Structure 1
Amino acid sequence: MSNSYDVIVIGSGPGGYVCAIRAAQLGLKTAIVEREHLGGICLNWGCIPTKALLRSAEVLHLAEHADAYGLKLEGKISPDLQAVVKRSRGVSGRLTTGVGFLMKKNKIDVIWGEAKLTKAAKGVAPAEIKVSKPGKKAMEPQNPPPKNTLGEGTYAAKHIIVATGARPRALPGIEPDGKLIWTYFEAMVPPEMPKKLLVMGSGAIGIEFASFYNAMGVDVTVVELMPNIMPVEDSEISGFARKQLEKQGLKIITEAKVSKVDKAADSVTAHVETKDGKTQKIEADRLISAVGVQGNIENLGLEELGVKTDRGCVVIDGYGKSSIEGIYAIGDVAGPPMLAHKAEHEGVICVEKIAGVPGVHPLDKSMIPGCTYCHPQVASVGLTEAKAKEAGYEIRVGRFPFVANGKAIALGEDQGLVKTIFDKKTGQLLGAHMVGAEVTELIEGFVVAMNLETTEEELMHSVFPHPTLSEMMKESVLDAYDRVLNA
């Protein structure tokens, strides 16, 4: 058939568009199907615009504390909500346009619409893809389809890669309504700033929005089911972060859940049950539901084709291959960790395996870094101290505080901690965990070290520039072996 390709990727988020680019680089005739936004959730409603919001909050924080840097700012400093949101949307739009350029540059056809897989004639392809016009909700005036795109029709490919991402998970009885109960979509473009806000869930999404709104002067309360906020992080790091966030005025309730929400005309009352069985009522103008995400596997025709799924995600092997020959999945729809950088790497591995590139290895999820861009930032890779012990390792743990680092003190950001965990027998770096200024930039040093199977000896003999925050990374390693120099 004329609409035939080597590879068709369904979804143009970070995983999808990167996968398509790599396929084109490898000489495969490639198309990508998108129903809503080039760049997916990450560029349009997730990673990028939230960081723009948080940057505005950071600048506001610095301005409010200008006197600590010997500066005097005249007049009242206050956020202009509409301007903050406009900047965030502008950053997003700039990058989305960039994805369109990359598709054109790499000669990747963009097919605009809703995709559904159907059974194809034997020997033609694993399935046909029927593309229909996207629904009205999907199409937004601010982001119309790029020029020179294909549209409705039937397409086929030897290899179909599902990269449809995920959406906010909703709890029964506390479903988001777009007005009083928000997901990250509404939280990113508030028409006005609430006076009181309740955030349900303290993962990266919940804590980042809690940090943003708190910096903007909102009275914020976070409710978390687990004993610690940011439950996937090392407990010592999350405990440190909690203290700093509470110092900034954030209210945090752990080992508790929102069991019920009463709605009024312009406010909500949440019934919060604590571990001792008691219930307290918390009134707020708005509630953000940040209880995780779930894969977009519905209405794609996967079940009819026999593609195996589990807990809302496509089951894959180490190279993205599903239970059906010629059909693959990458990114959030393929399961946790649901991170953009994991999706990108998964997409590259998947298509390189398809193309027969030698030396392709399955993704090692233990070496995927996690970052939370609250204030202070949190970043980690590898095993936590508790997980390392559970795995049976005899460990050495190193710590170095920001308060002993010259650059951190000069920046006025002396509250933080770098923690490293080593196998006592081999010197293998098992995990690294950080909280403090710019740790989301620093963590990649430890990621590279782990990928290169670097030992403590090599890290201790590496020269780190002075004065930098990165010096704390080496000092943490030294501390694990009782050789710390500056603390």
Structure 2
Amino acid sequence: MKRFDNIVIGFGKGGKTLAAKLSKEGQSVALLERSDRMFGGTCINVACIPTKSLENSARLSDDMGGGFDARAERYREAVERKRELTASLRQKNYAKMEAAGVAVLVGAASFTGAHTVRLDLPDGQSEELYGERIFINTGARPFIPPIDGLLDSRYSYTSEQMMELDELPKRLMILGGGYIGMEFASIFCNFGSKVTVVQDGDAFLPREDTEIAEAVLESLEKRGVRVLRGTKTKSVRDAGGHADILLDTPAGEERLEAEAILIATGRRPELSGLYPEAAGIELTERGAVKVDEHLRTSVPHIFAMGDVAGGLQFTYISLDDSRIVASAVLGDGARTTENRGAVPYSVFLDPPFSRVGLSEAEAVKQGYTVKIARLPVAAIPKSQVLRKPDGLLKAVVDAETGHILGAHLFCVESYEMINQIKLAMDADLPYTVLRDAIYTHPTMSEAFNDLFAALA
């Protein structure tokens, strides 16, 4: 049996960052990954990086215009560029671990005890590993709803599979109206697919501010995306080069044809084959690993990071989780999930939507007296320069203290702007600091001058 000070299960952002840090401290570390095509984790292989690569290519393709055939050719080129990018990043991630002295082992891991893990190797052999501490960073997997014929259809794809399509579908149905579905709707719409989004719920982006959600919906529909709300997918059947989909809409039954169906109905913690119960690890009701504020599981020497721990599914949360765990095992434990502040996020539509903190409704519900700042994106000179005038900026401010409670930015380059808001919130700065700052011109950030000036 091979013995290590630390075993990290999963080559994701949190796992690889922690592994390198522990190795730098002189501790032995084994980093286990099920597939050599997942070195670096979900983000660089099947999520953030490849989707943003495709999003960038799709936006450029839309600017170039042309018919479906021309766009389809640009789509094929974009997929190949995406593959080259992810392959390069996989190799770089492996090289970094090797240089850090981390032992990268490929195989399927499963707990056999509180300190022991069996690793089933690609050649059919297996070996037992012992770890003084064990860290779980296995991510999440797509959730497949039990719809008649969906799994049997050759035209059904998860988001991971969708990015490997060699041919651009003329018609794409997206099952699910969440963030993943919206990003793919924007990408494939820009490439030239006819996109229909089908969601069970009546509210579009129900977790978001109503005004912003309406602005996003209007923008997507203007670009040709059809969104069917309050609609259930009853069945899927393959029929001569396409899928035949039966829908139950508020107006009655409807049949939809598509060359591809994207299943974007959420992701669940990935624990298949890991057998956490063999180590005495407790799970939550939703199937995530149960952790405390230090990300420690019910077994004191076992920790969980990233999506598998049931928190927000962002790679930078996994990164911050690694800091929290490092604080617990190498430091004083001062860093926790309770003190990392508001978490920003971006949805890479065209234009992108970014948010941090509370919505207006959430702030009022929590008892704040609020002031609301709004600015149409068309009023920002840089948006006109970029020919991206769609969107709305909205900020929620505590009327008593002047501190920013939340911001919602639906505009070009919002994914950069939102970090300024996050910094101001973490530093407890009043909105006037952003209002009165001097910005370069023309930039999107200078919109904060006008946005917050509306509160004077």
The residue matched to 1:80 in structure 2 has which SS? helix
The residue matched to 1:321 in structure 2 has which SS? coil
1: CA distance, partners of 2:143 / 2:392: 32
2: CA distance, partners of 1:76 / 1:321: 52
Aligned to 2:257: 283
Aligned to 1:426: 401
Aligned to 1:128: 116
Unaligned runs of 5+ in 1: 66-74, 120-125, 137-150
CA RMSD after TM alignment: 2.2
- Matched residue count: 450
Rate the CA distance shift 1:298–1:77 in 2: closer, same or farther, 3 A.
closer
What's the offset of the Cα at 1:54? 1.0
Could you tell me which of 96, 103, 113 is aligned with 2:97? 103
1: CA distance, partners of 2:240 / 2:425: 53
**TM-score normalised by structure 1 residue count:** 0.87
Aligned to 1:348: 323
Deviation string, structure 1 residues 165-203 (Cα, Å, up to 9, x no partner): 111001013544572111112210113222211101122
Does the aligned pair in 2 maintain the 1:401–1:472 contact within 8 Å? no
Identity %: 30
Aligned to 2:351: 376
Rate the CA distance shift 1:263–1:339 in 2: closer, same or farther, 3 A.
same
Deviation string, structure 1 residues 388-411 (Cα, Å, up to 9, x no partner): 222222211111222111111111
- The reply to whether residue 169 of structure 1 matches residue 157 of structure 2 is no
2: CA distance, partners of 1:109 / 1:77: 44
What's the offset of the Cα at 1:363? 4.7
Kindly provide the amino acid, as one letter, of the partner of residue 86 in structure 1: E
Aligned to 1:11: 10
Deviation string, structure 1 residues 271-323 (Cα, Å, up to 9, x no partner): 3233x473322222221110000111122121122211121210111111011
Kindly provide the amino acid, as one letter, of the partner of residue 12 in structure 1: F
The residue matched to 2:73 in structure 1 has which SS? coil
Aligned to 1:35: 34
Does the aligned pair in 2 maintain the 1:366–1:383 contact within 8 Å? no
Does the aligned pair in 1 maintain the 2:14–2:306 contact within 8 Å? yes
Aligned to 1:296: 270
Rate the CA distance shift 1:297–1:235 in 2: closer, same or farther, 3 A.
same
Does the aligned pair in 1 maintain the 2:434–2:448 contact within 8 Å? no
Aligned to 2:335: 360
Q: Counterparts of 1:68-217 in structure 2 under 5 Å? A: 79-119=73-113, 126-134=114-122, 152-173=126-147, 175-177=150-152, 179-217=154-192
Does the aligned pair in 2 maintain the 1:163–1:333 contact within 8 Å? yes
Does the aligned pair in 2 maintain the 1:307–1:314 contact within 8 Å? yes
Kindly provide the amino acid, as one letter, of the partner of residue 84 in structure 2: G
Rate the CA distance shift 1:254–1:53 in 2: closer, same or farther, 3 A.
same
1: CA distance, partners of 2:224 / 2:61: 15
Kindly provide the amino acid, as one letter, of the partner of residue 164 in structure 1: T
Rate the CA distance shift 1:171–1:196 in 2: closer, same or farther, 3 A.
same
Aligned to 2:61: 60
Does the aligned pair in 2 maintain the 1:166–1:294 contact within 8 Å? yes
What's the offset of the Cα at 1:33? 0.5
Rate the CA distance shift 1:478–1:425 in 2: closer, same or farther, 3 A.
same
Does the aligned pair in 2 maintain the 1:176–1:289 contact within 8 Å? no
2: CA distance, partners of 1:199 / 1:77: 20
Does the aligned pair in 1 maintain the 2:154–2:238 contact within 8 Å? no
Kindly provide the amino acid, as one letter, of the partner of residue 116 in structure 1: S
The residue matched to 1:255 in structure 2 has which SS? coil
2: CA distance, partners of 1:192 / 1:352: 47
Does the aligned pair in 2 maintain the 1:103–1:109 contact within 8 Å? yes
What's the offset of the Cα at 1:79? 3.3
Aligned to 1:51: 52
Deviation string, structure 1 residues 126-182 (Cα, Å, up to 9, x no partner): 41111111489xxxxxxxxxxxxxx94222222111000111001013544572111
Kindly provide the amino acid, as one letter, of the partner of residue 171 in structure 1: P
Aligned to 1:69: none
2: CA distance, partners of 1:189 / 1:455: 46
The residue matched to 1:31 in structure 2 has which SS? strand
Unaligned runs of 5+ in 2: none
Does the aligned pair in 2 maintain the 1:204–1:371 contact within 8 Å? no
Does the aligned pair in 2 maintain the 1:203–1:231 contact within 8 Å? no
Q: Counterparts of 1:331-342 in structure 2 under 5 Å? A: 331-342=306-317
Rate the CA distance shift 1:105–1:404 in 2: closer, same or farther, 3 A.
same
Does the aligned pair in 2 maintain the 1:346–1:363 contact within 8 Å? no
